[in-house]
Amino acid sequence: MGAGVMQKEGGRGRRRSRNRPMSEINVTPFVDVMLVLLIIFMVAAPLLTVGVPVELPKTAAGALPAAQEEPLTVTVTAEGAIQIQTTDVPRDELVTRLRGIASERASDRVYLRADGRVPYSNVMEIMGALNAGGFSNIGLVTDIGGPALDGTAPSGG
């Protein structure tokens, strides 16, 4: 991306050519690097979410708007284990820990991720615990592409 030297072709019978500095900047390498970085960030951004492997149920519901602080996520695995973010929490300590977390947070929003094989009654128990812990704004996390129940075909997926 530096300046180079351009040689001027000589006229008739001239053997000596004059060199003058090239005043143009080649931006092609810069653009190439920026495109590579853009692709890297586009691929890496979805991988930065909290990762506990669960088989989320599919639904036709849209995504919730993004929050300003890092969202609190409670996960129920297929085996029935409960995790706050990525930390395992025993069932009997869940409400106590949630109350402590709720006192430190500005938002009462929490995202509940439950494996699709977890019984409905267990999910409702966890929702009750979330409410008792101070979180009344509960968002259920699902995958897109499930049945719409209105006769339309699934979108995405």
Model confidence, pTM: 0.54
Spatial separation of the C-alpha atoms in residues 76 and 140, rounded to whole Å: 11
Give the type of residue at 15.
Answer: R
Domain ranges across the chain: 5-47, 52-144
Tens of pLDDT along the chain (157 residues) come to 555 555 555 555 555 567 777 777 888 888 999 999 999 888 887 766 655 666 777 776 666 565 566 788 899 998 889 999 888 999 898 999 999 988 888 888 889 999 888 898 888 999 999 999 888 888 888 877 777 777 676 655 4
What CATH architecture is 52-144?
Answer: 2-Layer Sandwich (3.30)
